[in-house]
Amino acid sequence: MVLVGLFVLFLIHASVVGSQPASSSPHPPGEQSPLGTDNLSFPWSRIRLPRYIIPLHYHLFLHPNLTSLRFTGSVHIQIDVQNNTNWVVLHSKGLHISKATILDQNLAHLSDQVLPVLHNPSHEQIGIFSPRVLSSGQKYFLYIEFGAELTAGFYGFYKSTYRTSAGETRILASTHFEPTSARMAFPCFDEPSFKANFSVKIRRSSQFISLSNMPIVKTVEVNGGLLEDQFAASVKMSTYLVAFVICDFKSVTAPTSSGVQVSIYAAPEKWPQTHYALEVAVKMLDFYEEYFNIRYPLPKQDLIAIPDFQSGAMENWGLTTYRETSLLFDPLTSSISDKMWVTMVIGHELAHQWFGNLVTMEWWNDIWLNEGFARYMEYISVEATYPELKVEEYLLHTCFAAVGYDSLNSSRPISCPAENPTHIREMFDTVSYDKGACVLHMLRHFLSNDVFQRGIVRYLRKHSYRNAHNQDLWDSLANTCSEEDFTSGKHCYSSSQAHKNSYLFAGEHLDLTVMMNTWTLQKGVPLVTVTRDGTHLRLRQDRFLRTVLPSDPLWATLQKGYLWHIPLTYKTAASSVVHRHLMTTHTDSVHIGEAVSWVKVNSDMTGYYVVHYENGGWDEMAKLLRENHTALSYKDRTHLIHNAFQLVTAGYLPLNEALDLIGYLQLETHTVPLLEGLGYLEAFYRLVKRRDDVDLVHSLGMYILRFFRGVIDQQTWSDEGSMTERRLRSELLSLACHLNDPPCLDQARQCFKDWLQSNGSVNLPTDVAETVYSFGAQDDHGWDSLFHAYNTSLFAAQKDKILFALTSTKDTNKLQRLLDLGLEGKVIRSQDLSGLILTMARNPHGHHLAWNFVKKHWNTLVQKLQLGSVCIRNIIIGTTGQFSSPEEFTEVQMFFESIKDQASQLRATQVALDNVRKNVLWVQRNLKTLKNWLIEKMKDS
């Protein structure tokens, strides 16, 4: 019996290509007559592929034609069959399959017929039928010829262009496969657990070069003067990490200390902007080899700036691809923030060469094992290699972003189901990246740096070239294997050894798996409420929610079933010692030993939880900040400010108390808490400005300028100073000009005038360039001059600053023109469309324009940017994020209802509604308080 039906749950009607009618000719022994195509139905009903055929090695040939914008190719896949079957099911999307055959281990064809290829487009799968049974335990070769157009978007094998300074448009072809787009470039088993080796050949014209994951071992001339590059066989890896680029770029190269050749590629005229990235990449690879104690396994690492690129970068093994702003750095036009961004993105992608590439999550539900680690390693690597950048100051904001998302009811667990491509794309979000990083940060401080580092090295070594789950990480971190035990192949961890393997925390036994499951398998962030009771702290944990107030009957329902194992830390007025306690119950008590004037819980925000101080506790914190703020670290001061305003939104703290808390900021000298407090005041200003309350807008703007007058006046219009000083300057002067501060406007006017008179040849101080451009964009001549500069600039960072400025105009005709150009995708690239819409939505004069544009062009946006992508998510959340009235909430609901077939697949629509609901509640509860508080403050001044 032919075992076609072994895996069939139900039959799917499918289209057939490359098939021939049944033949009446005799067939070799053991081969059944081919079935007529009318009798064949697709043999597999699930989204995920069957596990009974395992790919071992792909021999991939590609010939892209950059004139016709098409490519042809073939793939020869060695497969291991683990159950008898007549079918091979694999992925293919948008490819024309012209031929499919199956060969045995001796490369003999199993059939003299062209094999039927059935398509199931809804699952992006093809099924290839073999009349002869493929036998369990045997290896075969699957050979497929195919072709397609280079795609016009950002996924699969796609076309990109750049323009030279002479106005010539040049074409290149590049790939982006993560998460599910390798199937758009060649037929493959496109799931992360199907790791295999890849041998790639690329045919090209002589004016181009080709790059792939591995080095070229041979180039031969073929018919018509074409060249064929043959690349070395890759290490074992997932399909989403395969990459190839055909371009005419130039490069700069240097070796690491272990001999890895690192090269940075960019368009020829942008080659001078590659040198900083080379320095960073070499340093980073050296650092990671030492930190992980595992050699980078490939002979080379290429980093290439692709002109059209949707995300920030992609970690393809040996050929990492980047948006130009993520890789190129020009000291004359790139700011200190641009430098930080380039450094961190390179750190992120090179961390992936171990976390993600060497060890890959089993399935996309655990993508945080890739992205959370890479995000966290950004901070560890940059702190080690570029300490002057003060990267640790940014980690707080990463965790604040995670708390903001995670305190909405529409959040999700770190590890949660994701099956279809849209759901998988949505997994690349704040939870996977930022919450994942912050939970790892908490765990590192909980276990100690040394234990954490040894544990992740064990994890990487044990699972190298394989796939892993959450549990594998917890086992490695709780495991006491020595290096010798590991290298001898032993697996030391067992539950019976738990008392040896776990680490003591405040004298308590630790079951790491149980603890960490509370952080990865349930959504949300805990709120720890602290009450002083003599020499004890009374503790209570709840789920922290900003969309439902504690007085709401729904609040109790949303609390049910939530409990975290929280590694609490705290300091007291008595000493600088950090005390520790593991809270595993809803209520708890800690003896602090003596009467002290203050207790600060969650030291340096190493823990992922919000803290509320009841019964006058916030008054104690405010008093401490007023009288002796340096008794707390800058991180603790920043954490207090953040928690206070979050608690206002959640209904635990009156707004006036949070505003009084930041009254001490006139004494503050550290950038991070200053910007945290300023950020909340700016957010309130933007919110009330959209509500057209002229008096309130004026009062709040005047208060901010008066309150921060001293620190604003200290700023210079230059690029001098430390990373921290430059960051403060950039933020403060931007806000001061936005608030129409006369001295700021005068200086911006003079700088812009000088820039105009030089025809753009004078380089503005990079840290204030965006502020100067934004001032200049407010009149017609300035706007037109900036638009011309945007068109001609060769510097991606400068173009970003100019585009931001162009969106700040009050002229709605100009704003509409920008949106139309973004949709067209020529002058303003499609990759920048979502950012354009977001920055315009921040402009009170462009907010409703941007929202109406999204509603009108929704289907086009989805077609360009893909449903579930980070761009679509940002557009949905960003254009609705400032709505704060019940009428606007209803309008958003109605739009989502009108696109419910798509909206129902997106978590982002629920996040957007939660955000608007949160804003409506905030205005209802706090707007009057803000007005009254300002009246009192303006009287005092």
Q: Phi and psi at residue 12, in whole multiples of 5°?
A: -110, 125
Tell me the helices (H) and strands (E) count for the chain, helix number first.
33, 29
The amino acid at residue 560 is K
> How far, in Å, CA of 216 to CA of 28, rounded?
42
Closest to 804 (Cα-Cα) out of 786, 779, 816, 821: 786
> How far, in Å, CA of 626 to CA of 666, rounded?
10
Question: DSSP states of 714-727 as a string?
Answer: T--SSS-S-HHHHH
Q: Other CB atoms closer than 10 Å to residue 653's CB: what's the count? A: 19
Q: Phi and psi at residue 9, in whole multiples of 5°?
A: -95, -40
The amino acid at residue 468 is A
Q: Among the residues of 272-420, which ranges form H helices?
A: 275-292, 324-327, 336-352, 368-385, 392-406
> How far, in Å, CA of 858 to CA of 498, rounded?
54
> How far, in Å, CA of 708 to CA of 705, rounded?
5
Look up residue 21 and give its DSSP letter.
P
Closest to 827 (Cα-Cα) out of 167, 333, 157, 158: 167
Radius of gyration of the chain (CA): 29
Q: Other CB atoms closer than 10 Å to residue 556's CB: what's the count? A: 10
Residues 6+ apart with CB under 8 A from 451: 477, 503
Question: DSSP states of 641-692 as a string?
Answer: HHHHHHHHHHTSS-HHHHHHHGGGGGG---HHHHHHHHHHHHHHHHHHHHTT
> How far, in Å, CA of 578 to CA of 562, rounded?
27
* Active-site pick, 279, 349, 393, 668: 349
Write down the residue that tokens 């072709």 correspond to. Answer: 147
> How far, in Å, CA of 575 to CA of 488, rounded?
46
Is 145 tagged catalytic? Answer: no
The amino acid at residue 491 is H
How many Cα atoms occupy the beta-carbon half-sphere of 126 within 13 Å? 29
The helix, strand and coil proportions of the chain, stated in percent and rounded to the nearest 5, come to 45, 20, 35
Structure tokens at 67: 């004139």
Look up residue 897 and give its DSSP letter.
H
Q: Is 786 in contact with 773 (CB distance < 8 Å)? A: yes
> How far, in Å, CA of 603 to CA of 623, rounded?
18
Residues 6+ apart with CB under 8 A from 275: 252, 264, 329
Residue 572 forms beta bridges with which residues?
575, 599
> How far, in Å, CA of 255 to CA of 236, rounded?
24
Q: Phi and psi at residue 571, in whole multiples of 5°?
A: -120, 155
What angle, rounded to 10 degrees, do the helices at 812-824 and 796-806 form? 140
Q: Phi and psi at residue 532, in whole multiples of 5°?
A: -80, 130
Structure tokens at 781: 């001549």
| Ramachandran region, residue 651 (left: φ > 0; alpha: ψ -120 to 50; beta: rest) | left
> Hey, which residues are catalytic here?
349
